[in-house]
Structure 1
Amino acid sequence: MGSLTDAQIDHTQHPRVNSSDPVPPRPRPATPPHLLTGDEDAIAVATGLAAELAKGAVLRDREGLLPLTELDLYSQSGIWSILIPKRFGGPGLSHATLAKVIAIVASGDPAVAQIAQNHIAIAALVDLDATEEEKARVFGWSLSGLRFGNAFSEFGGKDVTDFKTRVRFEGGEAVVDGEKFYTTGALLSHIVPIVAVGDDGVYLVFADRETPGLSVTNNWSSFGQRTTASGSVRIDNVRVPRERAVKLKDTAEHPSVQGPVSQIIQAAIDGGIARAAIEDTIQFVKTQSRPWIDSGKPTAGEDPYTIAAIGDLKLRLHAAEALLESAGRAIDKGYLDPSLDNVTQATIRTAEAKVLTTQIAIDATNTLFELAGTRATLAQFGLDRHWRNARVHTLHDPVRWKFFHVGNWYLNGVHPPRHPWN
């Protein structure tokens, strides 16, 4: 697929990442999304969606085009409400199915897949911490097709938990001030949930994208995951009705699967990146690569070292996918019975999966070029996006600490910390 020129791109329909192009709030959906009917339906929907996303993934990455049409297709698929309990009108599917579905979508385009990460994690957090009335409100928004962005992380604090954004309450209103970065999906969302600190704890404040005082900047400049709409959000005296502020529980006092749910989505995206890279490696070796002269083979696919390397990648991918499923089952158990031991098991198994998906994503995207050869680096193929996406997305939280927490549990019986990065 050839590159589009500036003259050929309609920036109203295809605004660029990290540009001054205006990106107004997205129109709200005219019809509700598809309601997933079960595991098989979810997997079938994800498979079809991944095929559609893959068609323009190279072009969007190369030109830095925000996935407006693709995101509408994704949020109308029903996947964004996959965890909403049946008693609130959702499909209430398992976390194991969630991991499988996200990995499939990410194999089509991991940048688009990541945009839903915060929406799904926020819905899960509301399920764990909110009142019944608050749950009904937030789940109703999701089931109607409204997209949640993300105003969680901040830039420049001493660590990721050092929140400066504040919320105060005046009469019937919650008033928020602060600034956020890494705000994946906020640019193209309908509602922006803001994490803010109040006098009595931490709140999740749901503000409409067009709320006065809420400004979203399209300034994500990373070399990978380029089209995730991960810019920054400024919050100046943003006022919303008091009932839109959900007080969050302290996970130190109330064990929950909040962290593992967020983490398994991240791990699944890395697994999807690895799967796509391996498949592209196989296809390129079969159709484009030449055999090395010392192999004495007529085709690159008959090179014994290449064959062994593909076997190694596939084995490690399948091991990572098996751990993702195991982690999902452990999260299901911890969700139904959030005892300290069950939550720890969910956290440990998810950490194990995160380690393997990180390793296979980075190794597969690097090995792609070793096996496919110099020709694979040509811009026309866009294969470098796999490595760039893997390298950036796996930085979400350091896997070196996963090894420590896993080892400390098995060796010393020390429960791992409970927070969104674990």
Structure 2
Amino acid sequence: MSFNKNIHKSTIFVIFTLLFVLQANAQQLEILIEEALKNSPEIQKFELQYSIASEKVNEVNAVPNTELGVGYFVSEPETRTGAQRFKVSAKQMMPWFGSITARENYVSSLADTKYEDIVIAKRKLLASVSQSYYNLFANLAKQKVLMHNIELLETYETLALTSVEVGNASVVDVLRLQMRQNELEQVKEVLEQQYLAEQTALNKLLNRDKSTEVNVMNELTIPSEDTLINVENFSLHPELIKYDKIYQSVEKAELLNQKESNPMIGFGLDYVSIDKRPNMSFSDNGKDIIMPMVSLSIPIFNKKYKSQTKQNELQQQEITAQKQERLNKLETVLDKAVKNRVSAKISFKTQTKNLKQANDAEEILIKSYETGTIDFKDVLDIQELQLKFQTNQIESVKSYYIQTTIINYLIQ
């Protein structure tokens, strides 16, 4: 019968919708990622933090404030050359040699640490956009499968009505088919709402209006061969490099601490204004006093610096432990993602095999319509299995690419 061929062809078409990927659709994801990296407020936040940290180099490249003092003698003390009227003093303390350079190096190392935050944020954003995109793909693919199954049930309903007319089926069979259609319509409507919610999430990652339509690929395949995982790149992951940068900043902090524990040298000048002694004449009468000064600030009580050295040593040990802990977690995540990706491929193959067998069973049932012995309850059971296998196929494809996204985050 014509019903037989149409149903079988339509079902086979659903199997192969996941077996091809269009280059234009692949480029669509790349465009979304580029837009996200360009417009993301989170990336902009980290870039501003890095700029602020870099600017601090200019802040620390300075010496202490120059001290100026002015004093007026209310009761004028007499000197041999005359009475003192007022005093002006200036003093400038200078850090020990190399202290300013050490301070600059320390602040620069903090800026380097902030830069790694940018790299990490970009990687996470790329992964989030990709995962959201694959969620949209899976949702849309499920909606198409549901639409196909709803149309299939409508075809079955037509068969059932014809069978009722000739007495080969009951009205109950028709009602069962209609109820099943209602259930699938409900699932489809729920998926539509979930699609809109996921689309909002993706648009907000791109920092654009939530209602902006996202063009999602129609077809996606699981490749027969996986790309090789270069574990050597794992040690270059920015989350681990950040710990190295933090460790280096502590080293710079200790060098700065050692410099600051040295004395500070001060240079100054005092000027005292002297009035001339009246009714007296001699060579130095009224000669002002100019007194250059050199001072030395010695940190005699240096427990502060010794304590800071001890803190830096402990902090380096802590950073080493934190890096090892993070390395262990990342290795666990990587191993889990690799295993889950293999599982997704196994699941996809199994679902494909099951779906082919379900399609064969469906074809046998439809052929039995020619003899007038079709059992619509069996048809519904097979249709439910087909929907289950098709949905599981889509989930397997989505899982494969989400796990690939996680792997890429860790080793690319």
TM bracket, shorter-chain basis: under 0.3
Structure with the bigger RCO (C-alpha within 8 Å, sep 6+) is 2
TM-score, normalised to structure 2, is 0.28
Q: Name which one, 1 or 2, has greater alpha-carbon Rg.
A: 2
Name the structure with the higher helix share.
2
